[in-house]
Structure 1
Amino acid sequence: MKLVRYGEPGQEKPGLIDSAGTLRDLSAHVGDITGAVLSDAALERLRALDPASLPAVQGNPRFGPCVGQIGKMCCIGLNYSDHAAETGAQIPEHPILFMKATSAIVGPNDTVVMPRGSKATDWEIELGVVIGKTAKYVSEADALDHVAGYCIVNDVSERDFQNKLTGQWTKGKSCDTFGPTGPWLVTRDEVADPQNLAMALDVNGQRRQTGNTSTMIFNVRQIIAHLSSLFTLHPGDVIATGTPPGVGLGMKPQPVFLKAGDVMELTIEGLGQQRQTVKADD
């Protein structure tokens, strides 16, 4: 299934995309697409519905983040060997973890707003993993059983805030609008192998990032096992699993960053597409 949330910010309704690409309303069956409806049993009940029996949604409504009420967004840094190389960083011994504030999370096509003083806002396409079952001390072998599905995340980053302001990476990762998520949550039964998904990001029609999840340093199983050994992952939590090479920070001979009016377009195989226009904060 492809589960979505559509409507104006704060008023999103639950829906699904049927096999013909039609948006169908799920409001009669669930209140929202949150962790409460992402268990295997709950998803199976939704899967049993006849999509043709669900009301078709007219027009072209906005898509919100594909998961509502996200408890935490865990982000893995430097998780592609070629991305680590382009930034001059060493391969980490363990997954690098930082958190993105949930207030940064927006819809897949919402405007990305560069904060005041920003000179180094950058793009990062990432595979998002949505937890469906509580995970604590989970083994690698069992890790994927705790996944509800997958989505696209743009881990937008302000590099000066991230690297030059005293403190943690979170400063450059959590600015408002810096977490476009969606357009839909694709349930895990429709993703045969999360470690073999092609990824691409364009800025103003020019390809910047090309990659595949097969080149992750730590795969999805390893990430879930590691994080769940440190703290509990709850249904509805999202893990952004790192970005392939091609970020603005790593461009040669000098970095290239976003400016007002730029357009980012992101795709991950089987997970849809995002499109964001960039503006400066007032």
Structure 2
Amino acid sequence: MKIARFHVADGPTRLGRVDGDRITDISDVPGVGTSLRAILPHLATLEEAIQASDGESLALDAVVLEAPIDDPQKYLGIGMNYKEHAEEARQAGIPTPTSQLWFNKQVSCVVGPHDPIRKPEVSDELDYEIELGVVIGKRCKNVSVEDARSVIAGYVVANDVSVRDWLMKLSPTFTLGKSFDTHGPIGPWLTTDDEIVDPLALRMQLTVNGEVRQDWTTDDMIYDVYEQIAYLTQVMTLMPGDILATGTPAGIGAPTGRFLKVGDVVRAEIEGLGAIENLVVAEP
């Protein structure tokens, strides 16, 4: 299934089932409501009713898509997790880690798939990072690599927008440089895990104003999504709706100084998951 959060004009948020170029309102299905995070642990039991729903059907281009998970308890990202990207990061002055390197993106950065990205007044080093976003579906701790897929609800396209000078010079923990408001666009919807044959074999492409900047596949990860979940759950309990940004491939702006500017349009697309597209605007 593909499940989106959406609204029409200035109307309330609803949940919808996405089929092709249309979306069907499922908010009135018993047990569904309007919070995708709340129903993640129950998706298996709700699936039949969701698939059978004959709620209002709308064209996708007639609605406004919102962040599929707008209220995660945690948004975590892993650094330098693609082989070629680790090398370009090294060239940009970021040492290659010898183990999984995790950081927080504060959840206040999350925005929808077509919301604007603000360029901060305090930096001219605004960068992009296409990433496969993994959404956790159940409370879990000490998960083995072999069982890790069983705790995944589904996937989103993520752009781990980064402010490089705050990341490196002013905030060496990465958190501040990863957490500016609007720097966590995700979407366009949640694609449930059962729809994806192999999340480690998906093509991902990011363009800026139509120019391809990143074009890679998820099989180049150093630590795959299952190893990431196993590693993290040794430390913390992951909760339904938690988002893991699983790394970005080569092609970021930092090594060449090709940072984002006001007016740029950034499009990130992952095979089977759809695309998000965001306009860079000046900070108000």
Return the TM-score normalized by structure 2. 0.93
1:140 maps to 2:141: no
Matched, 1:123 2:128: yes
Q: Residue in 1 aligned with 2:162? A: 157
Counterpart among 109, 113, 119 of residue 108 in structure 1: 113
What's the CA shift for 1:45? 1.5
- Structure 1 residues 5 and 246: CA distance shift in structure 2, 3 A: same
Would you say the 8 A contact 1:24–1:51 is kept in 2?
A: no
Identity %: 42
Query: CA offset at residue 68 of structure 1?
Result: 3.3
Q: Does residue 270 of structure 2 align to residue 275 of structure 1?
A: no
Per-residue CA deviation, residues 107-162 of structure 1 (Å, 9 max, x unaligned), is: 01100001122210000000000000111000000000000001101000010111
Label 1:43 to 1:65 Cα distance change in 2 as closer, same or farther (>3 A). Answer: farther
- 206-215 or 158-167: which moved more? 158-167
Gaps of 5+ in 1: none
8 Å Cα contact 2:66-2:111 kept in structure 1? yes
Match of 2:40 among 38, 41, 48: 38
Distance change in 2, residues 1:10/1:143 (3 Å): farther
Q: 2-side partners of 1:10 and 1:176: how far apart?
A: 24
Return the alpha-carbon distance in structure 1 between the equivalents of residues 156 and 255 of structure 2.
Answer: 25
- The reply on whether 1:21 has 2:21 as its aligned counterpart is yes
Match in the other structure for 2:228: 223
Conserved? CA contact 1:34–1:70, under 8 Å: no
Number of aligned pairs?
A: 277
Bigger fraction of residues in strand = 2
What SS is found at the alignment partner of 2:230?
A: helix
Deviations 1:200-247 (A, max 9, x none): 000011000011100000001000000000000000101000100000
Gaps of 5+ in 2: none
Moved more, 227-236 or 59-68: 59-68
Between the aligned partners of 1:278 and 1:162, the Cα distance in structure 2 is 19
Instruction: Within 5 Å, give how 1:1-282 maps onto structure 2.
Output: 1-7=1-7, 11-18=12-19, 20-29=20-29, 30-39=32-41, 41-51=42-52, 53-57=54-58, 60-88=62-90, 89-251=94-256, 255-282=257-284
* Separation (CA, whole Å) in 1 of partners of 2:131 and 2:105: 13
Single out whichever of 213-222 and 4-13 deviates more from structure 2. 4-13
1:10 shift after superposition: 10
Q: Give the distance between the partners of 1:12 and 1:195, measured in 2 at CA.
A: 32
Distance 1:49 1:278 in 2: 36
**CA pair 178-209 structure 1, distance change in 2 beyond 3 A:** same
- Inter-CA distance 10–232: structure 2 relative to 1 (3 Å threshold): farther
Which range is displaced more, 186-195 or 167-176?
167-176
Q: 1:24·1:55 contact (CA, 8 Å) conserved in 2? A: yes
- Give the CA deviation at 1:52: 6.0
Equivalents in 2 of 1:258, 1:9: separation in Å?
30
User: Is the alpha carbon distance of 1:43 and 1:54 closer, same or farther for their aligned partners in structure 2, counting shifts above 3 Å?
Assistant: farther
